[in-house]
Amino acid sequence: MLLFLGLVFILKVVTCNVSSPPVVTLPLGTVEGYIGKTEQGKDIYVFEGIPYAKPPVGDSRFEESVPPKPWKGIWKAKTIFKCLQYDHYTPPGPDKVSGDEDCLYVNVYSPTLDTTAKLDVLVYIHGGAFMFNHGGQTLPNIVLDRNIIFVNFNYRLGPLGFLSTEDEFVSGNNGIKDQILALKWIKENIDRFGGNPNSITISGMSAGGASVHTHLITPRSRGLFSKAISQSGVALNSWVFMEEPLNKTKTIALSVGCPIQNNKEMKKCLKSKPARQIAYGVKDLQPWLYNPFSPFGLVVDKWAKNPVFPEHPYQLIEKGLVEDVPWITSFTSAEGLYPGADFYFDERLEFIDKNWNAIMPYILHYNDVIPVQQLDEVSSEIRKEYLQNEPVNKQTFSRLIEALSDRLFLADIVLGTRLHAKSIKSPVYSYYFDYRGAHSKTENRIKSNKNIGVSHGDDTAYVFKTLDVLSTENDKAMSKLMVDMFVSFMKTGKPNITSDWSPQSKKTSDPWMHLRIDSPDKLYMEKKEQVGNQKFWESLPFKENQKLFNKRDEL
């Protein structure tokens, strides 16, 4: 089993007196953690790798997760786990697949074990396109200085988490069902770590942000949290819900030598195959680099006995069948740098330029949402709209990123936010992040610290220190601002970083509003008639537009 020891508190972990490590007794058994340090050097109780589900292996593969059995003795909660995944950043070879199938564990970080403390709880759902990453990658060192409790966890990814046969055999959404079970575990157990089960804020970025939105929508997550934050992702983003899930399942089955004529037999065969082979089959669904970046995702599982989504989220939002709690949504000024930063090389830009019509359907996630005979026409329309038919190169790179930003993030974040705000009484706040600090998520991908924009995920770094965000005074101030936003929202339901921040209007005829964050001392409200070039994207013959066009037109 591949284990990740002490990952979270890198260079911040100290050993506790061996005779007195922190111990917590749970309904299923006793767990033992260790002592870590916050950014400011305060002691913190760390419990990494507590099981919240029975291992989803053997006959439990592709099945809904269930609580684990009680254990005897003391469970050593000192290990970070990672779910099995196809790592698209790793060069071809045996290391392309990493992690373990036995991976459903939760990590808890608390400044106290006093069960009467009733501290506010921040839960973070990791992103990664429903395909990669793990909970332990999020560093809570900064936020834990604010006297809160932080929790993250793993959920199954890629085909092991989201494969569906579009029927009762593999109904789909197992990764989301894992999340629901984890949230139930947190609700039922967090008081034993000093937390308040009635003050839980769920948060996430990208696929994590979209996951947060799904929990606001699905009836199966009711009552499990009191506030929500979705950074750079909502349930209506084009890459969240899968098209052609059965065909993708068959592609994976064929890659490992399973029959595809009968869904029951296909499932039985897939259960017998090595999990790493199944994860590796993702390569057959991503024809260029790692695009489309999210070939597996959610489904409307109306065929399930207890569906996560009995209807499409759009319909559930429209009917007001959603959780009515305060919510924050956001996007950065250059969201499309995921995946676009990986294209910032002359040879890749030249390849896109010469193969635009063939490759853009995969990059922009419309390869299976329009008829094949219309792909070239639509691709040409997009090129004309954003590039005015100029070549793709470093000079036009920003316009390429704008296209990616609008299609993959902005247009649908705005749509989902406005529809949701209209359907509930609680306030919905939005912010636009345009601060480029000393570092960016793009650095490792373009092999340079050149400023090519404020990337997808850059804002999250100032809360969870996924980058070195404390190297300059400005960055430190921005980190304080962003953590202030999170903590004040957790405690009050309002992000009290400026008195000017107004929630979205309940009238979709009113302009879109967001707080623009340009620097730690430059925050102001903006109103926009259109964000993300919505009208253009709604005009294209995508399946999602055919399903929702009449309703979108109301916006």
Residues annotated as part of the active site: 206, 335, 456
Measure the CA–CA gap between 173 and 279, rounded to whole angstroms.
Answer: 16
Instruction: Compute φ and ψ for 236, nearest 5 degrees.
Output: -90, 0
Q: Which residue has the tokens 């190297």?
A: 471
- The helix (H) or strand (E) run that includes residue 403 is helix 397-405
Paired residues of 46 in beta bridges: 34, 109
User: How many CB atoms within 10 Å of residue 298?
Assistant: 27
Q: Residue 244 region, left (φ>0) first, then alpha (ψ -120 to 50), else beta?
A: left
Strands, DSSP E only, in 353-502? Answer: 428-433
Residues in the chain: 555
- 528 SS3 class: strand
Query: Would you state the torsion angle of the CA atoms of residues 53, 55, 60, 63, taken in this order, to the nearest 10 degrees?
Result: 40
Q: In this structure, what token pair is assigned to residue 254?
A: 């064929």
Secondary structure in 3-state letters for 28-48: CEEEECEEEECCCCCEEEEEE
Measure the CA–CA gap between 496 and 473, rounded to whole angstroms.
Answer: 22
Q: What sign does the CA torsion over 415, 416, 420, 421 have?
A: negative
**Bond from prior residue into 520 cis (ω within 30 degrees of 0):** no
Measure the CA–CA gap between 528 and 385, rounded to whole angstroms.
Answer: 20
Instruction: Compute φ and ψ for 289, nearest 5 degrees.
Output: 50, -120
Q: Which residues, 6+ apart, have CB-to-CB distance to 41 below 8 Å?
A: none
Measure the CA–CA gap between 130 and 509, rounded to whole angstroms.
Answer: 33
Q: Which residues, 6+ apart, have CB-to-CB distance to 65 below 8 Å?
A: 53, 54, 56, 104, 156, 174, 177, 178, 181
CA distances (Å), origin 302, targets 213, 287, 306: 19, 30, 8
- 125 SS3 class: strand
Q: In this structure, what token pair is assigned to residue 337?
A: 């740098």
Paired residues of 151 in beta bridges: 108, 123
| Terminal alpha carbon distance of the chain | 50
Measure the CA–CA gap between 193 and 476, rounded to whole angstroms.
Answer: 29
Paired residues of 110 in beta bridges: 45
